[in-house]
Amino acid sequence: MNILIKAIHIISEQIFLTQTLLQVIEKETGLPCRGSPQWPRESAGIRDPGGETLILVDAQSTFFQEKCSSGQSKRFDPPGGSPYLFINFENGHPLQPLDLAKGLRGVFYDGDSIIAICKGVNAVLLGDLWFPRKLLGNWVLQTFNSKESLNIGSPITNEKNDLLISTIFEARVDAIQQEVGEKTQAVLTKREKEILVAVASGSSNEEIAQKYYISLHTAKKHLNNIYKKINVQSRLQAALWVTDNFQTESSE
Tens digit of pLDDT at every position of the chain (252 positions): 445 788 999 999 888 778 888 888 998 888 999 888 888 765 444 444 456 889 999 988 988 888 876 555 566 777 767 889 999 988 777 777 778 777 889 999 888 888 888 888 988 888 888 888 777 767 766 655 554 444 434 444 445 455 555 555 555 445 444 544 445 555 788 898 889 888 888 888 999 999 999 999 999 999 999 988 888 888 877 877 777 676 444 333
CA distance 223 to 238: 10
Give residues with Cβ within 8 angstroms of 30, minimum separation 6: none
CA distance 104 to 130: 10
CA distance 31 to 92: 32
Long-range contacts of 168-171 (CB under 8 A, 24+ apart): 168/97, 168/100, 168/136, 168/139, 168/140, 168/143, 169/140, 170/129, 171/128, 171/129, 171/131, 171/136
pLDDT in the model for residue 119:
87
pLDDT in the model for residue 46:
47
Please state the length of the chain: 252
pLDDT tens profile 90-121: 877 777 777 877 788 999 988 888 888 888 89
pLDDT in the model for residue 214:
92
Mean model confidence pLDDT for the chain: 74
Residue 40 DSSP symbol:
G
pLDDT in the model for residue 171:
52
| Dihedral sign of CA atoms 200, 203, 207, 210 in order | negative
Give residues with Cβ within 8 angstroms of 212, minimum separation 6: 191, 194, 195, 219
Q: 94's torsion region: left (phi>0), alpha (psi -120 to 50) or beta?
A: beta
Pinpoint the alpha helices (H) of the chain: 15-29, 62-69, 98-101, 114-125, 133-145, 158-182, 190-200, 205-211, 216-230, 235-245, 247-250
Residue 90 DSSP symbol:
P
CA distance 50 to 133: 30
Q: Please, what are the domains in the chain? A: 7-131 (3.40.50.2300), 188-250 (1.10.10.10)
pLDDT tens profile 136-178: 767 766 655 554 444 434 444 445 455 555 555 555 445 444 5
CA distance 238 to 203: 12
pLDDT in the model for residue 154:
42
SS3 85: strand
Give residues with Cβ within 8 angstroms of 150, minimum separation 6: 96, 97, 98, 142, 143, 156, 161, 164
The H or E element spanning position 55 is strand 53-58
